[in-house]
A and B are shown apart, each in its own frame.
Chain A
Amino acid sequence: MAEKAIEAKKKGQKSSEDYTYVGMVFHRLTRHKLAMVGAFMLIFILLFVFVGPLIWRADPNAQIEGLGGLFNPASRAHPLGTDDYGRDVLARMFFGGRISLFIGFISAISSTLAGAFVGLVAGYYGGWADNILMRFTDAMLSIPTFPLLIALASVLGKGVWQIILVIVLFGWMTDARLVRGLVLSLKEQEYVEAARAIGASANRIMWRHLFPNTLAVLIVSTTIGIGGAIIYEASISFLGFGVQAPFASWGNMLQNAQQFIWNSPRLIIYPGLAIFMTVLGFNFFGDGLRDAIDPKLKL
């Protein structure tokens, strides 16, 4: 089996010992078709939202005076048309995208990591720590989100960090249970016992041995979470969270455009398509990343 790598070397290919860990993951990613498709989609979107405004300079919040400026179709002045307030849709797509991507990515990763931490500790230690943490998780899951959100709205107020906090607050529990379940089975593996036999501390076992083996699950959870977070942000914006009018986010653009679905379907299609592409891109890339870090999978 180790001879296989020697064979590969003879053919001029590189084998695992030629790379650092990051290098190896990168190398494997570039060979994963789906990951590359996802990466291109994400790169395209990132270029769109960051480089776009440098090319197309328009004020996303500038309203055109007069009724004639509303719901304009695509034109030279407004490549994606205007919205219900006469604002340039393309510009709003740029800036809305930045916000949405930021919120989506940060909250998904934060809630996954927060949940993973809880799950890791609960699963590894078991006993009363597990009990307390899991009952807490269950409690959080049982709280009716709506009344709590209203209460929080008045306390926290508007702002990007506030919405991220809210998404994390309501999202970490799923990952906690996921990771705890995984850790319960992983810690019975003999290599964990081997680590204890060597004298490894609990911390070392949790982070060096158990956590890497939960990464695959966490990556998938994060990529799924991003799309969810983007949409979630929009759906609670009416409570006064997150991005408030007149500022745009893809989520609130989508939300807002629902009432104009017969007038101006473009207003739904643009942000909808953007969110769709983002979610798909992250999912594909996430799949690739999960496969790339699995040493057993052949890439």
Chain B
Amino acid sequence: MATRLVEVEKLKKWFPIKGGVFGATVASVKAVDEVNYFIDQGETLSLVGESGSGKTTTGRTMLKLLQPTGGKIIYKGKDITNFTPNQMRPLRRNMQIMFQDPYGSLNPRMPVGDIIQEPLDVHSIGTRRERRQAVATMMETVGLRPEYEKRYPHEFSGGQRQRIGVARALIINPELLVLDEPISALDVSIQSQIINLLQELQQRLNLTYLFIAHDLAVVRHMSDRVAVMYLGKIVETAENDELFDHPLHPYTQALLSAVPVPDPEVKRERIILQGDVPSPVNPPSGCHFRTRCPYAMPICKEQEPLVIEVAPGHTVACHLLTKK
């Protein structure tokens, strides 16, 4: 029986846009607009979406790096939505994040050994000797030579820096790791190395991943379950194979059809979406996707579709399916 590690209910993150003489809030960027999902221990849930979908903001809000505007975050049964930074601090040992940018995510003026050690320092874990030992072990685990601990980030390649990022995230043995596009900035041949590393670590350390990405081939390779986001909402969630083989939401279908495959013989049946993603400040009424949806109906303008479970573990938010 899988333990539910984290559950998110109607999570909202709106960013205020201030204007006027007195700086009142005139509008909001509705980056994350009432999303629901859960992640069981040991599994990988992927959040996919394009720019403006809100996937990155969701990951950060779940970790309370951003304060939620609404909704609930339940971690191991505890409602942490309104935890203060002090209450969060011990929890931070359990939930960590790995960033996309191998260049900006490491302090250029800190030697990498210190960077990796910092989580131990912050939480006062172990003696100084034990910490240095842990750093050396961690570096080896992620495929870096421990002798390099006094080097600075700029002396490493992008792939190596991502390994440093993983080491930093995992050194305090978290249970949950949010991976925010960890390989997008890397060369193709290095991406596979890091993917393998992440999977090996997950098995070895029994980690739970929230994998945020836009590369669907990688998502297919890595995930147990996938949630598709569009303009702040989750439009479809399903198990890996189920989603890729039987996508139900029109956006999911278009998204999957748009992915190019490295095979010149395959003729893709493309569903080309017209137009651009609307602004998250003023998303379309009713279903956010209706302005680009090839099957839009009058009801889509009036009502937001509810999330329904069409098959075990497969949920969709679309009027096409509620009709049935």
A interface list, Cβ under 8 A from B? 1-2, 4-5, 15-17, 19, 189-191, 193-201, 204, 209, 212-213, 293-296
Contacts of B105 in A (CB 8 A): 190-191, 193-194
Q: 0/1 per residue, B102-115, Cβ < 8 Å to A?
A: 00111111110000
Instruction: Decide if B147 is an interface residue (CB 8 Å cutoff).
Output: yes
CA distance A191 to B104 in the complex (A): 6
**Contact present for B104 and A5 (CB under 8 Å):** no
Would you give the shortest CB distance from A54 to chain B, in whole angstroms?
A: 42
Which of B90, B156, B165 is in CB contact (< 8 Å) with A2? Answer: B156
CB distance from B168 to the nearest CB of A (A): 7
Q: How far is the CB of B131 from chain A (nearest CB, A)?
A: 14
Query: Given A1-B156, A2-B145, A296-B152, are A197 and B96 also a contact pair (CB < 8 Å)?
Result: yes
A201 and B119 CA atoms in complex are apart in Å by 11
Whether B65 pairs with A295 at a CB distance below 8 angstroms is: no
B234 within 8 A of A: no
Residues of B within 8 A of A212 (CB): 107, 109-110
Tell me, rounded to whole Å, the shortest Cβ–Cβ distance linking B109 to chain A.
5
Q: Is the CB of B109 within 8 A of A213?
A: yes
Q: Does B150 interact with chain A (Cβ within 8 Å)?
A: yes
Partner pick for B119 among A5, A19, A199, A294, CB 8 A cutoff: A199
B154 CB within 8 Å of chain A: yes
B15 within 8 A of A: no
Partner of B147, one of A17, A193, A199, A201: A17
Residues of A near B152 (CB, < 8 A) are: 16, 295-296
Choose from B149, B155, B168 the contact partner of A194 (Cβ within 8 Å): B168
Q: How far is the CB of B160 from chain A (nearest CB, A)?
A: 7
Tell me the complex Cα distance, A4–B156, Å: 10
Q: How large is the interface on B (under 10, 10 to 19, 20 to 34, 35 or more residues)?
A: 35 or more
> How many angstroms from the CA of A53 to the CA of B104 in the assembled complex?
54
Judge whether B155 and A5 touch: CB under 8 Å. Answer: yes
A1/B107 contact (C-beta < 8 A), A197-B65, A197-B96, A204-B122 known: no
Q: Report whether B96 and A17 are in contact in the complex, using a CB–CB cutoff of 8 Å.
A: no
* B93 lies within 8 A of A16 (CB): no
The answer to whether residues A197 and B92 also contact, given A2-B148, A16-B150, A204-B122 and a CB cut-off of 8 A, is: yes
* B108:A296 contact, CB within 8 angstroms: yes
Decide: A198 and B104 in contact? CB cutoff 8 A: no
Known interface pairs A198-B118, A200-B122, A204-B122. Does A296 touch B106 (Cβ–Cβ under 8 Å)?
no
Query: Hey, which chain B residues are within 8 Å of A293, CB to CB?
Result: 109
Q: What's the Cα separation between A283 and B105 when bound, in Å?
A: 33
Q: Which of B65, B107, B148 contacts A17 (CB 8 A)?
A: B148
Instruction: State in angstroms the CA–CA spacing of A200 and B114 once bound together.
Output: 14
Residue B194 lies at the interface, judged by CB distance under 8 Å to chain A: no
State how many angstroms separate the Cβ of B158 from the closest Cβ of chain A.
10
When chains A and B are docked, how far (Å) is the Cα of A293 from the Cα of B110? Answer: 11
Decide if A200 touches B96 in the complex (CB within 8 Å): no
B257 located at the interface, meaning its Cβ lies under 8 Å from any Cβ of chain A in the complex? no
* Shortest distance from the beta carbon of B22 to any chain A beta carbon, whole Å: 14
Q: Any chain A CB within 8 A of the CB of B101?
A: yes
What's the minimum C-beta distance from A17 to chain B, rounded to whole angstroms?
Answer: 4
Instruction: Output the nearest chain B residue to A196 by Cβ-Cβ distance.
Output: B65
Contact assessment for A199 and B154 in the assembled complex, using a CB-CB cutoff below 8 Å:
no
User: Cβ of B99 < 8 Å from any Cβ of A?
Assistant: yes
Complex CA distance for A143 and B207, rounded to whole angstroms = 60
